[in-house]
A and B are shown apart, each in its own frame.
Chain A
């Protein structure tokens, strides 16, 4: 599974990371948590994920560049 390989690469790259260190570690942590999933999400987890996706619609990270005036 590629996530396991990505974690190992990420750990080796980690000392070199200069941009977004916190986010990079959060990304590695998410991959690690991901690998530990053993069952299907519950209905509550599905609903929470859907709500989280809807909330990102207004997240500045997900907005396109504003065209020059």
Chain B
């Protein structure tokens, strides 16, 4: 054990260790600094901005989830039926007009969008209540979707 130095053992791995350490440093210390919330413009209505954030989050979340399920529906139907059923629930066509059906999640997103535009045109308490109700529904679905997104993207297949 004469002249033994731990650092000699680590030399072959030094590149990888440096890479991992650097990645960990970025992931845990630096990136969160760039992901903080932006300051709201003084003229912006916080309720509208919050609703738009939920809309955008819903858009990204459901594109991702339904894309993952669509990539191999047979696999998810067999191995994660709860997840596949959630996706099918989101896809179920519901009537949005007397002559037209739309996938449930798109109908809800469209409903939020229409009510938000209506609220922007007329910021009355009635419009605000309607928008709050439907955007809360969407937010709950997004929260459920976010839980699934972390679960289904890390299985050992």
Which residue numbers of A lie inside 8 Å of B, CB to CB? 1-4, 6-14, 16-21, 23-24, 26-27, 30-41, 46, 49-50, 52-54, 56-57, 60-65
Contact = CB atoms under 8 A, between A and B. Distances in A.
Contact of B152 (A19, A38, A56, A62): A19
Contacts of A38: 38-41, 44, 49
5 contacts: A13-B154, A32-B35, A35-B37, A61-B67, A65-B77
A27 B57 CA distance: 8
Interface residues of B, number: 59
Contact of A17 (B34, B53, B153): B153
B66 interface: yes
A41 B3 CA distance: 66
B39 to A, nearest CB: 6
A40 B47 CA distance: 10
A20 B91 contact: no
A39 B113 CA distance: 16
A40 B120 contact: yes
**DSSP majority for the A interface?**
helix
Q: Which of B36, B68, B149 has the most CB of A within 10 A?
A: B149
Contacts of A23: 63-64, 67-68
Contact of B66 (A9, A18, A49, A62): A62
Contacts, number: 144
A41 to B, nearest CB: 6
Given A17-B153, A23-B68, A31-B57, 6 more contacts: A1-B37, A10-B150, A19-B154, A53-B109, A57-B103, A65-B88
Contacts of B150: 9-10, 13
A23 B71 CA distance: 11
B113 A40 contact: no
A34 B53 contact: yes
B146 interface: yes
A2 B63 contact: no
B10 interface: no
